[in-house]
């Protein structure tokens, strides 16, 4: 199977995950991910989903539409556990359909795994064909499922070793969150094209596409995940593996001019300040006798609620 290439502009997805050491209740992880996804809604509006692990199995809820349309109070009540990941999607590879919505949850040799992905794999079609030749079965048209099948292929190894092998195989831009029954893992591509940051919340660890999502749930920003780094969070705490080191990075400029919220900071650069400086530089270089330079449209806007004023979007009931 080959992927069709079009000339339409595509947004990117948003990922959010949390490992709670001592949750106040068994739905707190899912509820926190809901609000994290709501803060990342600007990154994708096609579908949304949350997967939660209770230490024995992974439960999933996803659907087409906005976070507030897909996830309601009664769904949160059924998503019990202390580890959770979530995703908002705008398709870059694959059709806009429920089967392609994330998280993807699958069974493999070592149990259950849930996976969310922001980015695009340059060699997805070639890897998909190679895996299918050796017996892999695909149910979606996304490149995310290619990563899932690679993980299953290396299932004889530990999670981090399997992911390290996957990073050798896959080429392109990606920020991944992977969860099994008892750990949460974050991965960033070797060039750092897709953002991923780490935060802390009352002794728990949070991973998110943007720092603004950490602010929304009240988490403290710790740092950005380094390009080529794997972060593993489990009952023993947090550990880091620098799998691939490159001599250069290649940040996606559209993160600063289009994808990200103005109140986010990515790799030490505030998005709002970056946009202002780009406008100043444009004015210097254009040599046009203009009165002002303005941004049209102002994308990645802050949601219509302000956590600093203790106002939040409530979980909707059916």
More confidently predicted of 229 and 303: 229
Span between the terminal Cα atoms of the chain, in Å? 40
Asked whether the predicted pLDDT for residue 217 surpasses 70, the reply is yes
pLDDT digits (tens, 9 = 90+) for 263-297: 999 999 999 999 889 888 888 888 888 787 676 65
pLDDT digits (tens, 9 = 90+) for 28-55: 999 999 999 999 999 999 999 999 999 9
Write the DSSP assignment of 55-76 as a string of letters.
Answer: SS-EEEEEEES-HHHH--HHHH
**Which pLDDT score, from 0 to 100, does residue 172 have?**
93
Asked about 252 being catalytic, the answer comes back as no
Residue of 2, 13, 183, 313 with catalytic role: 13
**Which pLDDT score, from 0 to 100, does residue 289 have?**
83
Asked whether the predicted pLDDT for residue 10 surpasses 60, the reply is no
pLDDT digits (tens, 9 = 90+) for 177-190: 999 999 999 999 99
Asked whether the predicted pLDDT for residue 73 surpasses 60, the reply is yes
pLDDT digits (tens, 9 = 90+) for 236-268: 999 999 987 777 888 888 899 888 999 999 999
- CA–CA distance from 50 to each of 72, 157, 192, 257, 275 (Å)? 11, 26, 25, 28, 32
Which domains are delineated in the chain?
14-249 (3.60.20.10)
Asked whether the predicted pLDDT for residue 193 surpasses 70, the reply is yes
Asked whether the predicted pLDDT for residue 102 surpasses 90, the reply is yes
**Which pLDDT score, from 0 to 100, does residue 72 have?**
95
Task: Give the pLDDT band of residue 312 (cuts 50, 70, 90).
Answer: low
**Average per-residue pLDDT for the chain:** 87
Task: Give the pLDDT band of residue 5 (cuts 50, 70, 90).
Answer: very low
> What pairs with residue 85 in β-bridges?
17, 51
Neighbours of 2 (CB within 10 A): 8
**Which pLDDT score, from 0 to 100, does residue 311 have?**
46
Q: By CB neighbour count within 10 A (0-12 exposed, 13-18 middle, 19+ buried), where does 114 fall? A: buried
Task: Give the pLDDT band of residue 76 (cuts 50, 70, 90).
Answer: very high
- pTM, two decimal places: 0.88
**Which pLDDT score, from 0 to 100, does residue 245 have?**
76
pLDDT digits (tens, 9 = 90+) for 115-152: 999 999 999 999 999 999 988 889 998 899 999 999 99
How far is C-alpha 91 from the chain's CA centre?
A: 13
Task: Give the pLDDT band of residue 208 (cuts 50, 70, 90).
Answer: very high
**Which pLDDT score, from 0 to 100, does residue 207 have?**
98
Asked whether the predicted pLDDT for residue 22 surpasses 90, the reply is no
**Which pLDDT score, from 0 to 100, does residue 92 have?**
55
């Amino acid at each position: 199977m080959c992927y069709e290439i079009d000339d339409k502009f595509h947004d990117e997805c948003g990922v959010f995950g949390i490992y709670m050491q001592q949750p106040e209740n068994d739905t707190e992880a899912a509820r926190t991910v809901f609000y994290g996804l709501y803060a990342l809604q600007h990154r994708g509006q096609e579908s949304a989903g949350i997967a939660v692990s209770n230490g024995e199995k992974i439960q999933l809820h996803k659907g087409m539409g906005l976070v507030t349309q897909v996830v309601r109070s009664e769904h949160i009540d059924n998503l019990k556990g202390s580890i959770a990941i979530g995703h908002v999607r705008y398709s870059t590879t694959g059709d806009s359909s429920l089967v392609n919505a994330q998280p993807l949850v699958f069974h493999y040799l070592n149990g259950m795994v849930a996976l969310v992905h922001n980015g695009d794999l340059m060699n997805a079609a070639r890897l998909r064909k190679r895996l299918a030749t050796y017996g892999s079965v695909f149910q979606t048209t996304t490149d995310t499922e290619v990563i899932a099948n690679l993980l299953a292929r290396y299932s004889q190894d530990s999670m981090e070793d399997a992911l390290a092998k996957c990073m050798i195989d896959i080429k392109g831009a990606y920020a991944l969150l992977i969860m099994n029954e008892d750990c949460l893992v974050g991965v960033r591509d070797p060039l750092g094209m897709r953002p991923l940051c780490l935060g802390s919340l009352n002794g728990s660890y949070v991973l998110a596409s943007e720092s603004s999502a950490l602010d929304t749930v009240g988490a403290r920003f710790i740092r950005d995940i380094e390009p080529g780094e794997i972060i593993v969070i489990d009952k023993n705490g947090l550990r880091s593996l620098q799998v691939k080191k490159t001599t250069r990075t290649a940040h996606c400029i559209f993160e600063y001019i289009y994808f990200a919220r103005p109140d986010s900071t990515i790799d030490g650069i505030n998005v709002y300040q970056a946009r202002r400086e780009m406008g100043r530089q444009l004015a210097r270089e254009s040599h046009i006798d203009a009165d002002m330079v303005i941004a049209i449209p102002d994308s990645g806007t802050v949601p219509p609620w302000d956590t600093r004023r203790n106002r939040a979007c409530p979980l909707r009931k059916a």
